Amino acid sequence: MPIKFTTDKININDRRIINGADADVIQLYPMKHTFAWDAYTVGNANHWLPTEINMQKDVEQWRSPIVLTEDERKAFKTVLGFFTTADSIAANNIVIAAYRHITSPECRMYLLRQAYEEAIHTHAYQYIVETLALDEGEIFNMYREVKSIYEKESFILAFNEGIFNPSFKTGTLEADQKFLENIIIFSVIMEGIFFYSSFAVILGFKRQNKMVGTAEEIEYIMRDESQHLNFGIEMVNTIKAEQPELWTPAFQQKMIDHVKEATRLEYQFATTAFPKGIFGMNADSFKQYIEYIADRRLNRIGLPSQFNSQNPFTWMSETIDLSKEKNFFETRVTEYKTGGALEW
């Protein structure tokens, strides 16, 4: 759209996450969606790079014939196999699909940061694969070869089709619901559910004092992902407020059904990837954990709990809970800020 030559100022009430008045330039003010700017600031303060983490101990443990069992090696590789493609799908969705239709300049600012973070995550997996001298072909191709990974990724990708289409436009009830559905699929399900049994497994390694470098990489990724999830949830709730007509009972039920299906797929992934369980986490506890997470995600977009399961991995929330997380990462973040300062 050409820019209009005018002295008229932007009216803050015309600002919308989608279908807003002005998306031609990133004109930040008047700022309406301040949560997006806050997320952008937090993202910058949390900046990290995979190569800063020492992987020496992981290399020794991976080479040692006695530290890791065969089941542990298989679990480690499967989790990595899922992660490698998941983050690239997330990045593609931001850059190729979501960004184009979002008309809030401040949300676009955060999406630029988020897309870069997804690239950092893919870099982290590459770095782990390279330092441990794993078979790249095996890890990076798992999404085609391991059925439970394939099914999770296919589930997500099916929702891209509509908004990836170059002729897709927001502005009708049907299209706007499709767009909102896409955000829910990516934030609430992809970033909010599909990563979590894999996070739990890697943190399980750490609790055994195994593969601690990898675990540190994953903790940084978890911190970023919980920020992405928070941002996605804020967008969903803001779109609901800006266009309440989208949030019909039928649409709500559809989202609940998606979350239930995702919970099933994540459980299937956990039980086939770790058939004998791992570090005392068995099929039942994975199921409970995934259900517990799914309910929390539903509640945050205003939908009712479906499972009412207790959290069997309470130790996970010590790492994940955002309030505690800030303390958890405080030293490192401060160090980064100093280390990352420009030198003249």
| Cα dihedral across residues 229, 322, 244, 13: positive or negative | negative
- By C-beta, is 19 or 226 nearer to Fe ion? 226
Among 33, 152, 206, 228, binds Fe ion (CB under 5 A): 228
d(CA 13, CA 15): 5
Show contacts with Fe ion in window 247-286 (CB under 5 A). none
118 touches Fe ion (CB under 5 A): yes
Among 22, 58, 72, 87, binds Fe ion (CB under 5 A): 87
Is there a contact between 252 and 299 (Cβ–Cβ < 8 Å)? no
CB 172: neighbour CB atoms within 10 A?
Answer: 10
d(CA 173, CA 170): 8
CB of 91 to Fe ion, least distance (A): 8
CB of 224 to Fe ion, least distance (A): 6
Among 121, 152, 223, 287, binds Fe ion (CB under 5 A): 121
* Of 14-22, 148-156, 191-199, 322-330: span binding Fe ion (CB under 5 A): 191-199
d(CA 310, CA 289): 7
**Using CB under 5 A as the criterion, what x/- string covers residues 28-67 for binding Fe ion?**
----------------------------------------
* Of 83-91, 210-218, 233-241, 275-283: span binding Fe ion (CB under 5 A): 83-91
CB of 86 to Fe ion, least distance (A): 7
CB of 191 to Fe ion, least distance (A): 5
* Of 152-160, 184-192, 233-241, 294-302: span binding Fe ion (CB under 5 A): 184-192
* Token pair listed for 179: 């767009």
- Which of these is catalytic: 40, 127, 196, 267? 127
CB of 88 to Fe ion, least distance (A): 9
CB of 24 to Fe ion, least distance (A): 27
Q: Write the CB contacts of 69 (distance below 8 Å, at least 6 apart in sequence).
A: none
Q: Of the candidates 17, 14, 149, which has an alpha carbon nearest to the alpha carbon of residue 86?
A: 149
Among 68, 90, 163, 201, binds Fe ion (CB under 5 A): 90
* Token pair listed for 338: 């100093």
For Fe ion, how many residues bind (rule: CB under 5 A)? 7
- By C-beta, is 125 or 247 nearer to Fe ion? 125
Q: Write the CB contacts of 279 (distance below 8 Å, at least 6 apart in sequence).
A: 201, 204, 205, 207, 208
Please indicate whether residue 127 is annotated as part of the active site: yes
Give the burial string for 207-229 (b: 16+ CB within 10 Å, else e): eeebbbbbbbbbbbbbbbbbbbb
Q: Write the CB contacts of 148 (distance below 8 Å, at least 6 apart in sequence).
A: 265, 268, 269, 272, 273
Tell me the catalytic residues: 127
Q: Which residues bind Fe ion (CB under 5 A)?
A: 87, 90, 118, 121, 191, 225, 228
